[in-house]
Structures are given as structure tokens and as C-alpha cells.
Amino acid sequence: MTSLWLISQEARALLTRLNLIKPFVLQETMVPAAAPSHLAQTAIEDYLVYKKSKLREMIQWFLEWLAREEWVITPDEAQRRLSFLRLRFIAVLLQLDVFADVMTQRSEQETGVWLAGLDKAATDLLRLAGDYYKVPPIVCYLDRGIGGAIRRARTRLPGGGRNPVAIIRIPRERMIGTGIASTLGHEVGHQGAVALDLVNSFRPILVGMQKKGGSEHMAWALWARWVPEIIPDFWAISKIGIASTLGLMGVVSLPRAFVFRFNIDSPHPIPWIRVKLSCAMGNALYPHPQWGRLENVWESYYPRVGLNDDMERLFSKLESTLPSFISLLVNHRPKTLRGSSLLEVFSLKDRHPARLAEHYSSWSNSAVRMYTASPSLVFAVVGQARTNGRISPEAESKILSKMFTYWAMKGTLDTSAICALQGGARTGAPVT
């Protein structure tokens, strides 16, 4: 047994283990309705095939190099190159695990189908009228914790390479109710904000306000720091209305110390002001007394008493600058929106509270209308009905679970029908 022989054995073992990594379509058991969209599944499989093929080429080249240059290769050089290959292999496994979290849950009874329904809902929440950008494939999965997260499409994966799909993590405790819509809306808002370059275009305006100095300097500095999280909240409110704010309240309703906690390094607004900001954005998009009422409810939960002088001054400055901040936000005209303001693009006529109430009344008389509506509108209508006391939490849960199943099934059948039609066109078979 020589040093180079042992290294070659390790490299061959590495190649063997690489060959054991099978496509998800060959190892995951799921009903068709639970599967990710064809675009998402193809993007994931193609990406992993590419990474595996590149690594396989590197290992095979390494083995050929060992055989060809064995008389001049030193053991330390061979070991150095093998170590590099092993790290690349580990990186491929890390990326496999990122997608495995998504795919494995699709085999769970009921949960898998709901996740496919969430995929469809998230895709709809990300769409904007106007064709401003291409919506990437989106997949969702459940995990522990109280907050959601997104691994955006086209961002760097562990070990290198760009993520081919957007991956949204949903807390299990958010299933099912108003909270799930709020979480989805916020997370897709992160993807949309990047697609429209909203943070980079809006933050300089806030920095300019900060540079004007004065007693409001700190408040504007914080608005500028928090804007990457504020814009996704704005996105969610524009799509699902008050359901977004109610969902946010569910996440940040924590012991009082946490609600008023100020962490200058956090990208999230202080929870107490974040809910008030959400109400203000909702009222700017869809003016209605309900936002003031909800703000009063929030203040009754967490009255601003007993704060030290510094925190009291900070909250006073944030509240005093809040109207100006909202005005700057809704009237912002980024180049990506081709001259339109955020208010013009994101204020949707059928999301006003009165219109949502009308939709619910109409759907109560004919449920078919709900099934033909977009997922984001369904979230908004159900959330508004819950706010108005027209449905109970139990009824809300039943409606949304049925809709998740319907969206998953509809997406599967629509895809199958398209494939059948395309197949018929290719073969010349009659379409019946």
C-alpha cells in the first residue's frame, strides 16, 4: 500500500458516493398534487445535475492525473488536491440538503399538498401587473421557529452557485390562518423588492433626510436602516390588506420587554413601532377607519408607559416622522416602475376594505366565485372577513385548507392538460 494508491482509492470512493445521489424524482414519494411546479422541479434537478457533472469531471480528471503522473507526483500535492475535491463534494451535499428540506415534506399526507398550494399562492403574491420582472419558480417548506424566511432566487448557495428557485420557509405554528398569508406576503416581498431595486432606490432619499440633521436625525437614520424589512411589509399589505397587519401582530406579540426592545444592529423595526407603521401603510394604500381602530387595539395591548427618557424621546421622534416617511414611500418613483409611484402600482382597487367585504358577500352566495379568484385576493377577502367578525378562526382555517388543496390540484391538472395538448400537437393525435 502506497500513499498515491490510498489517495486514488479515496477518490474512487468519492466518485462512488457521488453516483449514489439520485434525482428527487426517483426517490421522493408524493402525490402529483404535492409536487412543486414543473418549472421549479426542473430548475432544481437541472442545477444539481450540473453541479454533480462538474464535480464528476474533476474527480475523473484527478484519477487520470494520478495514473499519468504517478512517477512525479508527491503525496502532499496529491492529498492537497483530494482535500479540495472532498470540500467540493461536501458543498454539493449541502446544496442537496437545501432542496431536500423542500422536497421531503411533499411526501407528508395533507402537508405535502398544502405546500404545493402555498407555492401557487406565493407565486401569485409576487406577481405585479405591468410585467416589471420575471417571477422565478417558488417552493415552500415548513420549519420550527416563529418567523418566516426566504432564500431568494439567484442568490449564492452554500459552497457557491446561484439558487435556481426562491425557497420560502414557513413556521409550522403559522399553519393555518391569517398568519400564513402575512408570512408569505412578507417573504415574497423580499424577492420583489430586489427585483425592483426598491431598497437601493429609496434608501438614499432617507439618508438625505437624515443628513438634514436636527432633532430628527436618529429617527431618519433608523428608517433608512429598517427599510429592507419595511418594504416587504408594504408589499404584503398591498396584496392582502389588513390580514398582513394582523399576521404581523401575531408574530411580534411578545412579552413587553421584547416589544419595546431597541437593538441598533437589527434590520427589523422595533416591534411596537412596526405594527403602527403597518397600520399607517395600510391606511395610505386603502384609507379606512379600521386602521386607526387596529392601532388603538395595539396600543391597548402595549401602552407606552414606564419607558426611560431616552426611549420615550426615540419613540416620539419616530411617531412624529412617521407621516413624512409614509408620504416619501408611497410617492417614491423608482426607475424600475417606469415613472409610476409605489402608490399607483401597489394600491389595488379590489383590495379596499369595502370591496373585500363585497367579495365575501358575493362568495357566500356562490362559492364558485372564490375558487376562480386569485390566491392573494382570497387571502385578502378571508382576512377582512375575519377582521369584520364575519367568520370564525375555525371557519377561516377550513376555507384556507380547502383552497390550498384546490390550488395544488388545479396547478397539477392545468400542467397535465398543457402537456397533453402539447403531446397531441406533436404527434398529430386528435385533442378531445
pLDDT means per 10 residues, the chain with 432 residues, are 83 86 77 87 90 91 86 86 89 87 84 91 94 93 85 90 93 77 95 96 93 83 96 97 94 92 91 97 97 96 92 94 96 95 95 95 87 94 94 90 90 62 39 26
Domain finish residue from 299, 324, 347: 347
Q: By three-state DSSP, how is residue 143 classified?
A: strand
State the Cα angle at 107 between 104 and 111, rounded to 5°. Answer: 100
pLDDT at site 75: 86
The answer as to whether 375 is a domain residue is: yes
Nearest 10 degrees: CA dihedral of 329, 334, 339, 340? Answer: -40
Q: How far apart are the first and last CA of the chain?
A: 68
pLDDT at site 429: 32
The answer as to whether 337 is a domain residue is: yes
pLDDT at site 389: 93
Same-domain status, 305 and 406:
no
Interacting residues of 350 by C-beta distance below 8 A, sequence separation 6+: 356, 359, 377
pLDDT at site 428: 34
CB atoms within 10 A of CB 171: 18
CB atoms within 10 A of CB 242: 27
The answer as to whether 371 is a domain residue is: yes
pLDDT at site 227: 97
Same-domain status, 335 and 389:
no
Which residues span the domain enclosing 49?
Answer: 3-105
The answer as to whether 162 is a domain residue is: no
pLDDT at site 418: 46
Same-domain status, 200 and 343:
yes
Question: 288-312 burial, b if ≥16 CB within 10 A, otherwise e?
Answer: bebbeebbeebeeebeeeeeeeeee
Domain finish residue from 62, 89, 105: 105
User: Are the C-beta atoms of 11 and 61 separated by less than 8 Å?
Assistant: no
- HSE-up of 425 (CA within 13 Å, CB side)? 6
Same-domain status, 45 and 73:
yes
Same-domain status, 339 and 392:
no
Same-domain status, 222 and 315:
yes
Same-domain status, 270 and 221:
yes
The answer as to whether 251 is a domain residue is: yes
Domain finish residue from 330, 347, 364: 347
Same-domain status, 241 and 355:
no
For residue 166, the cross-strand partners are: 138
State how many domains the chain has: 3
C-alpha cell at 100: 431536500
Q: Report the candidate in 26, 37, 10 with the shortest Cα–Cα distance to residue 412.
A: 37
Same-domain status, 8 and 97:
yes
The answer as to whether 181 is a domain residue is: no
The answer as to whether 78 is a domain residue is: yes
Same-domain status, 21 and 79:
yes
Q: By three-state DSSP, how is residue 230 classified?
A: helix
Same-domain status, 200 and 342:
yes
Q: Using a cut of 0.75, tell me whether the model's pTM lies above it.
A: yes
Kindly list the distances between the CA atom of residue 208 and the CA atoms of 203, 213, 217, 326, 331, in Å, as whole numbers in the listed order.
Answer: 9, 9, 10, 15, 16
Lay out the sheet containing 166-171: strands in order across.
138-143, 166-171, 149-151
Same-domain status, 333 and 355:
no
For residue 150, the cross-strand partners are: 168
The answer as to whether 138 is a domain residue is: no
Rounded Cα distance, 373 and 386, in Å = 18
pLDDT at site 14: 86
